A = this chain, B = another copy of it.
Amino acid sequence: MYNSDVFRRISEKSSMMSKSQNKIAQFIINHPDTAPFLTASKLASRAGVGEATVVRFANFLGYRGYPEMQQHLQEAIKRQLTTVERLELSSEEYSEDEKVVYEILNDDIQNIKNTIQRIDPAEFKRAVQAIIEAERIYILAYRSAVSLGTFLEFYLDLVLQNTELIRSADGVSEHLLGIKEQDLVIGIGYARYTRRTVEVMKYAQEKGARTMALTDNLMSPLIPYADIKLLANSEISSFIDSFVAPLSIINALITTVTRKEQHKVKKRLADLEDLWATFHVFK
């Protein structure tokens, strides 16, 4: 299985390589994330050898032809993509049962990493700006996503005092009836996208309000109705969707908004401190 690994084969046979073959091997090793995408003739010219030599090189390593070698190079790159952080869960050290927790936490690390890749800084900036400029903010979240909505509402309302979470599932809330163009609606939608979230987003957009979606991918049904799109991955080895990466994005939103509005927020937080102290809210 593993002897299919191109790099292993190269190192095994490196002593028997001709001058040109060495050039090719060198190129592949020095450009591991370019080589898998090249055609035989491109690889040839990049490595400075003839086309035929490349094909012979593949045969030399034991492949049936260049495409087979190419495929194995691609496999290697794919493994890299998916297992970056994979812990050694294979051993017998832990029972099936105990592995789950490690598996899930690693999946979630991967989710955040993939989310980082997909961040569009300009779009994120727009999201922050929209929150700051909004007169009122409505957060749409149903079912399990209510947890995310609750968190976002808690902090946005703490610092801006103009945020409200819409969670009742029946029809468009009365609160949204008077929605204005200066208002912002943030829809949170994952996996089994709740129909209601989509409907309300659509309604808000038709009313001319700004809309923002936090969802898992661009094919999500929320996307067509979102002026601002934030993506965060949610896949874990479970029957549930993970809200870890979206929550991290929310952390970032709250933090950035607060830093930008520091001058306004500072006094309010200080006042709150006094209030909390008076009522002994914290230990």
Contact = CB atoms under 8 A, between A and B. Distances in A.
B11 A229 contact: yes
Contact of A219 (B25, B94, B269): B25
Chain B CB within 10 Å, residue with most, of A94, A105, A120, A249: A105
Nearest to A158: B144
Contact of A98 (B108, B121, B148, B258): B121
Contacts of A98: 121, 124-125
A144 B251 CA distance: 12
Contact of A77 (B81, B108, B258): B81
Contact size range, A: 35 or more
Contacts of A239: 255, 258, 269
Count the copies: 2
A113 interface: yes
A150 B155 contact: no
A258 to B, nearest CB: 6
Interface of A: 2, 7, 10-11, 14-15, 22, 25-26, 29-30, 33-34, 36-37, 71, 74, 77-85, 87, 94, 97-98, 100-102, 104-106, 108-109, 112-113, 115-117, 119-121, 124-125, 128, 143-144, 146-148, 150-151, 154-155, 192-195, 198, 217-219, 221, 223-224, 229, 236-240, 242-245, 247-249, 251-252, 254-256, 258-260, 269, 276, 280-283
25 contacts: A2-B120, A7-B218, A11-B223, A14-B218, A14-B224, A37-B74, A94-B121, A97-B259, A98-B125, A100-B255, A101-B119, A105-B112, A109-B112, A143-B281, A147-B154, A150-B150, A192-B282, A192-B283, A194-B282, A194-B283, A221-B283, A236-B251, A238-B258, A240-B254, A242-B247
